[in-house]
């Protein structure tokens, strides 16, 4: 049965059979019940890993399966999470970077070849159309590790973390995304919030609001509550927030936009006063990382020398505060990614024939 944080019940057997063989390209393709199941499965797999360590046993939910990871865009958390998740459950993993795909060999041909060699394919890159084309031709499950439009595995980790730290169901939560709300992280977070019934608020400049087509889709297709405010209405936007979330102001490949983004977004830095405006002492701070919260990176030092900023999207004080759960959020990427793979290609039905409770390890 689902954990108390899950507002949506589900039938375990229906979830197991319904997710088998599916790709995970965007949260849009999954029902609220399926999302709830994946988050609950993630939490169970996290508990299971602790038990495996205690008893010194190897997981087997991906045993005998081979997974390939295609990275056209660099990564720390996503790559490590996929590799650890596969290794934890006894599978084999190949990291593929700098392939011929799209250059000497078409996306279609590459997808067909890899689909015949591997049981599942992860893709992290730029155009969302690329991961869709891979899924169309590979004939095995394909998982989106990030594209310019969506970051669905991140959103699962975000809501898993919220479930761990906020003592209320998702449909009672208020999520405030601060800064550049027209990016892939914000979109996936907004869609997931709508599916699970959480209220989503974007506190951002008018130029960085979510695209209206996506907002309209979230409101009309999923009945989601989406509100947008600029900095003049920050107190209204932040009041009662359970989560304050931010992301970098300039994404990979957008370094030429630093001048423009700093001018637009500097008033939107998440600092202590902004957290106090939530009027909620239990409000948590989330960030998908990496974060420019100090001068301990070359980019941070460059920005400091050119613009005089000690930090960008969040202050160091907030980042290191007790409200911040960013490192647990990052660690949860392993468990949510593992859940997606186990549910779509793994041995879940054979290993746990009746319920998630049977995933527990016994000595």
Dihedral sign, Cα of residue 319, residue 323, residue 327, residue 330: negative
- Cα 103 to Cα 68, 109, 252, 262, 278, distances in angstroms: 19, 11, 21, 35, 49
**How many other CB atoms sit within 10 Å of the CB of residue 341?**
25
- Residue 309, judged by CB atoms within 10 A of its CB (0-12, 13-18, 19+), counts as middle
7-11-14 Cα angle (round to 5): 130
| 207 in Cβ contact with 261 (< 8 Å) | no
| 47 in Cβ contact with 41 (< 8 Å) | no
| 121 in Cβ contact with 114 (< 8 Å) | yes
| 156 in Cβ contact with 339 (< 8 Å) | yes
Residue 200 β-bridge partners: 175, 226
So which residues are the catalytic ones? 124, 151, 154, 247, 288, 333
Q: What is the pLDDT along the chain (363 residues), one digit of tens a residue?
A: 344 455 567 888 889 999 999 999 999 999 999 999 999 999 999 999 998 888 898 899 999 999 999 999 999 999 999 999 999 999 999 999 888 898 999 999 999 999 999 999 999 999 999 999 999 999 999 999 999 999 999 999 999 999 999 999 999 999 999 999 999 999 999 999 999 999 999 999 999 999 999 999 999 999 999 999 999 999 999 999 999 999 999 987 788 899 999 999 999 999 999 999 999 999 999 999 999 999 999 999 999 999 999 999 999 999 999 999 999 999 999 999 999 999 999 998 666 556 777 676 543
Helix ranges (H only) for 118-245 are 128-138, 152-165, 184-196, 212-222, 234-238
| 146 in Cβ contact with 131 (< 8 Å) | no
pTM of the model as a whole = 0.95
Radius of gyration of the chain (CA): 20
| 194 in Cβ contact with 224 (< 8 Å) | yes
List the beta strands (DSSP E) in 247-350: 284-287
Residue 24 β-bridge partners: 143
Phi then psi for 160, rounded to 5 degrees?
A: -60, -45
Residue 287 β-bridge partners: 246
């Amino acid at each position: 049965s689902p954990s108390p944080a899950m507002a949506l019940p589900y039938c375990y057997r229906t979830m197991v059979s319904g997710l088998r063989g599916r790709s995970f390209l965007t949260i849009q393709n999954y029902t609220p019940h399926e999302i709830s199941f994946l988050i609950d499965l993630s939490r169970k797999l996290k508990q299971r890993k602790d038990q495996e360590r205690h008893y010194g046993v190897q997981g087997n939910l991906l045993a005998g399966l081979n997974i390939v990871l295609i990275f056209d865009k660099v990564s720390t958390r996503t790559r490590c999470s996929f590799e650890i998740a596969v290794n934890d459950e006894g599978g084999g993993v190949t990291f593929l970077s700098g392939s011929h795909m799209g250059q000497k060999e078409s996306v279609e041909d590459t997808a067909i070849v890899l689909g015949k060699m591997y049981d599942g394919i992860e893709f992290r890159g730029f155009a969302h159309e690329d991961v869709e084309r891979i899924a169309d031709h590979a004939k095995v499950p394909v998982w989106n590790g990030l594209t310019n439009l969506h970051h669905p595995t991140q959103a699962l980790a975000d809501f898993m973390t919220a479930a761990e730290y906020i003592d209320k169901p998702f449909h009672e939560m208020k999520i405030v995304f601060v800064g550049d709300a027209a990016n892939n992280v914000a979109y996936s977070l907004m869609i997931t919030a709508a599916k699970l019934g959480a209220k989503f608020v974007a506190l951002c400049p008018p130029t960085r609001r979510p695209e209206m087509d996506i907002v309209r889709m979230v409101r009309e297709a999923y009945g989601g509550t989406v509100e947008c405010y600029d900095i003049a209405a920050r107190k209204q936007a932040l009041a009662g927030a359970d989560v304050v979330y931010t992301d970098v102001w300039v994404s990979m490949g957008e370094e030429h936009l630093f001048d423009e983004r700093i001018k637009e977004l500097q008033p939107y830095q998440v600092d202590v006063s902004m957290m106090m405006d939530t009027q909620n002492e239990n409000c948590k701070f989330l960030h998908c990382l990496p974060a420019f919260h100090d001068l301990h990176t070359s980019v941070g030092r460059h920005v400091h020398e050119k613009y005089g900023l000690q930090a960008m999207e969040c202050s160091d004080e907030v980042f290191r505060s007790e409200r911040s759960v960013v490192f647990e959020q990052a660690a949860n990427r392993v468990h949510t990614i593992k859940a997606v793979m186990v549910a779509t290609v793994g041995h879940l039905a054979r290993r746990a024939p009746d319920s998630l409770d049977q995933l527990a390890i016994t000595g």
